[in-house]
């Protein structure tokens, strides 16, 4: 199929943009052709969003009206989940049954419904007398036009994480999906129109870095929201600073799993393996660094190797598949590079570390466990973004926390222990936006998701996300 741009509520021809092929990473075949948007295309999308914002067709609707349109969007989306999930699998390599349809789609529908409800939450507005003879009113108002840049690992789900709170707040949006995975975002835009969300409120431009740069630079964009790598986040922040845009960044992660001597190792193995291999490990909250108390270190390694070897890697359209390919040849080279350099530096590959037998057509990589590594090693400190975990020993709580915090990232972490006091102490000491105890990776629409340190700032999910797309206005009224 060939896709156009979605601007001002309709499919729109490009103004000078070229085309890009969308690849299926499981087969290397071409799925579709999309536009690589030009600066003129970006400007057209931003102008449509700007007009839609200032004439009030969305921002001036009652919260109830916005909520009803978003609820209708959720219903439309829910009726099409099989088609959306199939398209998501084709462009990403996600296992259709296990990942795209079984996990992403139900969560996406729930996210839309949550943000539809959040649109009616007006607790941010209040009034009071703080100076004699005056009444102060505090209003929560939408930021304006928002440029949103979504990642390739959860294309439609994270498009919803961005659109949902922005629409609930009353903003208008120009969404740019990742270059290789735009198809489900385009489908979502068309569904927004069907749900009655007015023309110009949701616009989707496809393309590469030039289109993204044009969106971040555009003077009429008031806020930029990015989910991506830490390096990309730094570039976006530097560019946005030139026009003092508000910036929302959800960036890289390097989640530690702290396994204390009283932990249930069967539970550790099951939860860590799922956290390390779900979406082929291409998840910023993925379980990556296992630290096991010295007395349980050998047993923990054995349990993890057994669990990782049991994971079914294969055809994304096979219902028994748990892990599909990595997103691209480049990503597989990146993952393999981390592993190969660790091995060359003296690390031991306990399992994996190679392309699985019989799966050399797509970009597959075997679930991998590595040990005999130093805390300062590249594979400990850098984000691999693949189905790879490292295992190291520690002695005592203080060292566990030290190792856990000793990376530039601060997105997610896990603690495995039966001691409630220890769980409370350690989770408080870890510098991460989310800390799970005796689990890894579950999220809900009500719980905020976002990081510390170089994992960014701002929140996805929860009512906090809506607040990121609002500004507070103080109106002070004299009684005279």
Query: Do 237 and 262 belong together in one domain?
Result: no
Query: Do 246 and 292 belong together in one domain?
Result: no
| pTM, rounded to two decimals | 0.96
Q: Please give the average pLDDT of every successive group of 10 residues along the chain, which has 480 residues.
A: 96 93 97 97 98 98 97 98 98 97 98 97 81 95 98 98 98 98 98 98 97 98 98 97 97 98 98 98 98 98 98 97 98 98 98 95 97 98 98 98 98 98 98 98 97 97 96 96
Query: Do 220 and 97 belong together in one domain?
Result: yes
Residue 460: name the closest of 450, 472, 470, 474 by CA. 450
Residue 386: name the closest of 314, 312, 293, 288 by CA. 288
Listing from the earlier edge strand, what are the strands of the sheet with 470-478?
126-131, 134-142, 470-478
Structurally, how many domains does the chain consist of? 2
Asked if 250 is an active-site residue, the reply is yes
What's residue 110's pLDDT?
98
Domain that holds residue 80: 5-251+455-478
Please give the distance of CA 282 from its chain centroid, rounded to a whole number. Answer: 10
State how far the Cα of 326 lies from the Cα of 95, in Å rounded to an integer: 11
| Catalytic residue from among 23, 171, 192, 250 | 250
Which residues, including other chains, have CB under 8 Å from residue 357's CB and lie 6 or more apart? none
Query: Do 230 and 347 belong together in one domain?
Result: no
DSSP 168-225: HHT-EEEEE--TT--HHHHHHHHHHHHTTPPTTSEEE---SHHHHHHHHH-TT--EEE
Query: Do 306 and 277 belong together in one domain?
Result: yes
Query: Do 119 and 232 belong together in one domain?
Result: yes
Helix (H, G, I), strand (E, B) or coil at 479: coil
What's residue 147's pLDDT?
98
State how far the Cα of 33 lies from the Cα of 207, in Å rounded to an integer: 11
**CATH number of the domain within which 323 lies:** 3.40.309.10
State how far the Cα of 61 lies from the Cα of 64, in Å rounded to an integer: 8
Asked if 322 is an active-site residue, the reply is no
Ramachandran class of 84: left when φ > 0, alpha when ψ lies in -120 to 50, beta otherwise:
alpha
User: Which two structure tokens, joined as six digits, stand for 59?
Assistant: 């921002």
- Cβ(364)–Cβ(393) under 8 Å? no
Helix (H, G, I), strand (E, B) or coil at 104: helix
- Does 449 reside within a domain? no
Query: Do 469 and 408 belong together in one domain?
Result: no
State how far the Cα of 236 lies from the Cα of 458, in Å rounded to an integer: 15
Residue 451: name the closest of 263, 188, 249, 295 by CA. 249
- Does 342 reside within a domain? yes
Query: Do 222 and 314 belong together in one domain?
Result: no
Helix (H, G, I), strand (E, B) or coil at 148: strand
Q: Name the phi and psi angles at 337, rounded to 5.
A: -65, -45
- Does 435 reside within a domain? yes
- Does 216 reside within a domain? yes
Query: Do 203 and 343 belong together in one domain?
Result: no
State how far the Cα of 112 lies from the Cα of 101, in Å rounded to an integer: 16
As to burial, measured by CB atoms within 10 angstroms (0-12 exposed, 13-18 middle, 19+ buried), residue 421 is exposed
**CATH number of the domain within which 81 lies:** 3.40.605.10
For residues 116-127, one letter each, b for 16 or more C-beta atoms within 10 angstroms of the residue's C-beta and e for the rest, the string is bebbeeeeeeee
Query: Do 156 and 300 belong together in one domain?
Result: no
| Catalytic residue from among 23, 88, 171, 284 | 284
Query: Do 184 and 222 belong together in one domain?
Result: yes
Residue 241: name the closest of 224, 253, 258, 227 by CA. 224
- Does 450 reside within a domain? no
What's residue 126's pLDDT?
84
User: Which two structure tokens, joined as six digits, stand for 100?
Assistant: 């795209």
State how far the Cα of 249 lies from the Cα of 227, in Å rounded to an integer: 6
Query: Do 394 and 433 belong together in one domain?
Result: yes
């Amino acid at each position: 199929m060939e896709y156009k741009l979605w601007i001002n509520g309709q499919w729109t021809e490009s103004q000078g943009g070229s085309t890009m092929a969308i690849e299926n990473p499981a087969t290397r075949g071409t799925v579709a052709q999309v536009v690589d948007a030009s600066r003129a295309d970006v400007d057209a999308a931003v102008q449509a969003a700007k007009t839609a914002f200032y004439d009030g067709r969305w921002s001036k609707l009652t919260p109830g009206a916005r909520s009803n349109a978003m609820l209708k969007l959720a219903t439309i989306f829910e009726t099409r989940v099989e088609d959306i999930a199939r398209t998501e699998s084709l462009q990403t390599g996600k296992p259709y049954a296990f990942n795209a349809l079984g996990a992403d789609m139900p969560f996406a529908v729930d996210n839309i419904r949550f943000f539809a409800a959040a649109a009616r939450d007006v607790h941010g507005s209040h009034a009071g007398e703080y100076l004699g003879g005056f009444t102060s009113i505090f209003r929560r108002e939408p930021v304006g036009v928002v440029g949103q840049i979504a990642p390739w690992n959860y294309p439609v789900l994270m498009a919803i994480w961005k659109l949902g709170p922005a629409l609930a707040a009353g903003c208008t949006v120009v969404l740019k999906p990742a270059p290789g995975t735009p198809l489900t975002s385009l489908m979502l835009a068309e569904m927004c129109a069907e749900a009655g969300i007015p023309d110009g409120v949701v616009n989707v431009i496809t393309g590469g870095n030039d289109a993204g740069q044009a969106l971040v630079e555009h003077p009429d964009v008031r806020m930029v929201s990015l989910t991506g790598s830490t390096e990309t986040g730094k570039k976006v922040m530097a560019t946005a600073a030139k026009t003092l845009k508000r910036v929302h960044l959800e960036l890289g992660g390097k989640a530690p799993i702290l396994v204390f001597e009283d932990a249930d190792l069967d539970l550790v193995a099951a939860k860590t393996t799922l956290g390390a291999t779900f979406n082929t490990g291409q998840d910023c909250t993925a379980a990556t660094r296992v630290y096991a108390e010295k007395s349980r270190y050998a047993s923990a390694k054995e349990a993890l190797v057994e669990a990782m070897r049991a994971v079914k890697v294969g055809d994304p359209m096979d219902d028994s598949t748990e892990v599909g390919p990595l997103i691209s040849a480049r990503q597989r080279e990146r993952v393999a590079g981390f592993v190969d350099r660790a091995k060359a530096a003296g690390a031991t590959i306990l399992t994996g570390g190679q392309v699985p037998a019989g799966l050399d057509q797509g970009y597959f990589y075997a679930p991998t466990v590595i040990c005999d590594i130093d805390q300062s090693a590249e594979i400990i400190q850098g984000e691999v973004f693949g189905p790879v975990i490292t295992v190291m020993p520690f002695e005592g709580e203080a060292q566990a926390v030290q190792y856990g915090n000793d990376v530039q990232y601060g997105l997610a972490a896990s603690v495995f222990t039966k001691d409630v006091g220890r769980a409370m102490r350690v989770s408080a000491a870890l510098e991460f936006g989310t800390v799970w105890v005796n689990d890894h990776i579950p999220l809900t629409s009500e719980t905020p998701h976002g990081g510390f340190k170089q994992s960014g700032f701002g929140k996805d999910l929860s009512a906090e996300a809506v607040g990121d797309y609002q500004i507070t206005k103080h109106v002070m009224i004299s009684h005279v």
